[in-house]
């Protein structure tokens, strides 16, 4: 499934409208506070439409941004394990809003650190790049985490989706067969062949 990131075109409304017209499985909103990551990004003035939203909070104050972005009625809100010592509290607050919960891990974070919460979440987002900037190259070490999450899901009967974010394109996609959802940004949004490139991912569970 394609979760189309607008991060690389956040200040270009006309391009954003074109991306909406592709009808991806999800529109991926990378929200950045300039603290957890150096960059800043907000997505509150979006085109009208029925696109399902996949919100990725790259922020320190998750609870404040949760209140803001829950108003957009997203299907998923994902936060980073690195910003809190009580992920269970945030998970519960998101669920109380009838929104599915995602838990994200940055490149330096191990799967071991999120094991206690895997039975509570609907999605695990594995960062294939350092969070906060579009257009980076894929870190192949992230595939080890994908393998581990896939195995844990099979062994324990968990229901979370595995989402990969960062450096995903036609070539790196081939390495990610155990992922369910692909966050793709600049590979599509900054290309003149954006329609053809989006079609590689749209409505494709495994993407291969």
Q: Is 61 among the residues known to form the active site?
A: no
> What is the per-residue burial (b if ≥16 Cβ within 10 Å, else e) of 71-93?
eeebbbbbbbbbbeeebeebbeb
CA 81/CA 73 separation, integer angstroms: 22
CA 136/CA 120 separation, integer angstroms: 31
CA atoms within 13 Å, Cβ hemisphere of 187: 24
Cβ atoms of 87 and 104 within 8 Å: the answer is no
Q: Is 165 among the residues known to form the active site?
A: yes
Q: Which of 25, 30, 54, 180 is catalytic?
A: 30
Q: What is the CA radius of gyration of the chain?
A: 16
CA quadruple 160, 186, 39, 97: dihedral positive or negative?
negative
Cβ atoms of 184 and 190 within 8 Å: the answer is no
DSSP H or E segment with residue 87: helix 87-96
Q: Helix, strand, coil shares of the chain as percentages rounded to 5?
A: 35, 20, 45
Q: Which of 25, 54, 122, 165 is catalytic?
A: 165
Catalytic amino acids? 30, 165
């Amino acid at each position: 499934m394609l979760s189309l990131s607008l991060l690389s075109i956040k200040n270009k409304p006309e391009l954003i409208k074109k991306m909406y017209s592709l009808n991806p499985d999800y529109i991926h909103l990378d929200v950045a506070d300039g603290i957890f990551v150096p960059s800043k990004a907000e997505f509150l003035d979006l085109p009208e439409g029925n696109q399902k939203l996949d919100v990725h909070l790259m922020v320190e104050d998750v609870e404040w941004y949760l209140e803001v972005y829950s108003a957009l009625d997203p299907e998923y809100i994902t936060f980073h394990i690195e910003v809190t010592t009580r992920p269970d509290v945030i998970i519960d607050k998101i669920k109380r809003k009838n929104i599915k919960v995602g838990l994200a891990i940055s490149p330096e974070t191990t799967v071991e650190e999120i094991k206690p919460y895997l039975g509570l979440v609907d999605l695990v987002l594995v960062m294939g790049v350092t969070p906060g900037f579009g257009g980076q190259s894929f870190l192949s070490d992230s595939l080890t985490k994908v393998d581990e999450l896939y195995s844990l899901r099979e062994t324990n009967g968990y229901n979370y989706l595995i989402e990969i974010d960062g450096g995903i394109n036609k070539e790196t996609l081939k390495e990610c067969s155990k992922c369910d959802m692909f966050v793709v940004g600049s590979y599509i949004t900054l290309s003149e062949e954006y329609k053809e490139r989006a079609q590689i991912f749209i409505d494709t569970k495994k993407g291969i």
